[in-house]
Amino acid sequence: MHIAGNPGALTPQQRELTAIAAALGRERFAGRAARHDREASFPFENFADLREAGLLGICVPHAHGGLGADFTTYQIVAAEIGRHCGATALSYNMHVCATMWIGFIADALEMTPAQRADHERHRAVHFDRIVRQGKVYSQPFSEGGAAAAGKAPFGTLARPVDGGYVVSGRKIFASLAGAADYHGVLCTLDRPGATQRDSLYLAVPADAAGVQVVGDWDALGMRGTVSRTLLLDDVFVPDEARLMPEGLYWQAATRYPHMYATLTPTYMGIAQAACDFTVAYLRGEVPGTPSVKRRMYPTKQMAVAEMRVRLEQTRALFLASAREARVDPDADARMRLYAAHYTVMENAHALAALAIRTCGGQSLLKSLALERLYRDSRCGSLMLPWTAELCLDRLGRECLYEAGEQDEEID
């Protein structure tokens, strides 16, 4: 079954890139996933394959040597990767985000001519590193506070100095920690009265003085992301490290909400994988298990039918929302985005749970992929900036309140 439903609805580029991702996933990523999960080790070889296939530059503009893919194309390709290895897809997301944010998202935002010229000059440096040098960028976001949810300024601070900035702070759950060449660090300009508008997005070299990766990574799921803690202690970075002009990240965050839904396709892929496994298991086609068919039982058939219905519902909302990505989406598109993100995250886990119930006790064995899919799927609804609860909170408020509308206080 095609991850994007009807292949005829895809553009030629989407068909081509999805086919590449599917081949890599089937032939390489899937076979390595269990080891990286067991060891909590980073899939360096998967990223080498992505690099060789040109997929590190999937959203880098054509003018800078990349594939020039749009938001929807990335979502479809990333979901196909997630179908075979969730940890690789989630880590890949952290890298591709940097190219989206400084690429087509930045292009859609308002900048002065001087800012745009400055941005064009700086992003050329970063795009060259990715496309021609094969460098990997990460995106450490969370700090253990309200900043990652968009409720407060980032605690990581960037102090302007001659020729650049000095950065200090701490990022937790930093995927690709120890694997990325550059960390795309979100921070706040260190000046009196700084607010969320004083945001800054800087590329910090992983080998810069003052950069440390600390702690263990022994998590329930997504173990191959190796999301350890990143410490930044008076790290100097030059002006060219600026991935966006000062303050532009805040404009992107408030005007291009789909930028926060780049996690979603990983879990769409896991939802598909849970259904794939169940069908193969009931047909007696899972490698490493006896070739025994279990498909003749009505209870199994009903369960698979329910899974297919839920998968189709999830995929339809996922694709509809992805195709609406743009600057300043209308209220319906924004609310559909919250609903899509919530639906994918929750249904991925629901489908994995139903798959285990349908396949039975043997599916809990760590020698089979379903046990890992179940654990990985649980992580999605917990991830900032849009946890399941935050999606419902935003959706409920925006359904009931117009922009700027408040209730009168009741004595």
pLDDT digits (tens, 9 = 90+) for 22-69: 999 999 999 999 999 999 999 999 999 999 999 999 999 999 999 999
Contact indicator for 311, 351 with CB cutoff of 8 Å: yes
Cα 55 from chain centroid (whole Å): 15
Whether 7 shows a pLDDT value over 90: the answer reads no
| Average pLDDT for the chain | 94
Tens of pLDDT, residues 82-141: 999 999 999 999 999 999 999 999 999 999 999 999 999 999 999 999 999 999 999 998
**Helix-helix angle 12-24:71-82, to 10 degrees:** 20
CA–CA gap between residue 308 and residue 319 (Å, rounded): 16
Whether 411 shows a pLDDT value over 70: the answer reads no
pLDDT at 176 (0 to 100): 93
If you write DSSP's letter for every residue of 75-119 in order, what string do you get? Answer: HHHHHHHHTT-HHHHHHHHHHHHHHHIIIIIHHTS---HHHHHHH
pLDDT at 1 (0 to 100): 62
Q: Which two tokens stand for residue 74?
A: 């990335």
Q: Which domains does the chain have, with CATH numbers?
A: 7-131 (1.10.540.10), 137-248 (2.40.110.10), 256-400 (1.20.140.10)
Contact indicator for 375, 221 with CB cutoff of 8 Å: yes
pTM of the predicted model as reported, rounded to 2 decimal places: 0.94
Tens of pLDDT, residues 314-363: 999 999 999 999 999 999 999 999 999 999 999 999 999 999 999 998 88
Q: Which amino acid is at 76?
A: I
